[in-house]
């Protein structure tokens, strides 16, 4: 019984039974051609800073008007 098993294993290698593997496709991240919103990093930072300051001032104004904060 074991002789037959050894003979059958010797006749057909295990690696030939497997289908050929497809090469793994790797996606590379490419830098975008155009900047986000058409602005540079410095310009986007200034816009974000201005938005933050506007929210800060408007929030403070609302607190003063409603009487939750007083000077």
Question: What pTM value is reported for the model?
Answer: 0.50
Tokens representing residue 53 in the block: 């300051």
Does residue 36 belong to any structural domain of this protein? no
Does residue 63 belong to any structural domain of this protein? yes
pLDDT digit string, tens, across residues 15-27: 666 666 788 888 7
Task: Write out the residue range of the structural domain in which residue 66 sits.
Answer: 41-71
- Residue 60 reports pLDDT greater than 70: yes
Does residue 68 belong to any structural domain of this protein? yes
Based on the structure, what is the number of domains in the chain?
1
């Amino acid at each position: 019984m074991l002789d037959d098993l050894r003979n059958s294993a010797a006749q057909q290698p295990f690696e030939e039974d497997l289908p050929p593997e497809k090469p793994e496709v790797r996606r590379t991240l490419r830098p975008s051609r155009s900047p986000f919103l058409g602005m540079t990093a410095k310009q986007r930072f200034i816009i974000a800073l201005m938005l933050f300051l506007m929210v800060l001032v408007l929030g403070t104004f609302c607190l003063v008007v409603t009487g939750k904060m007083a000077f």
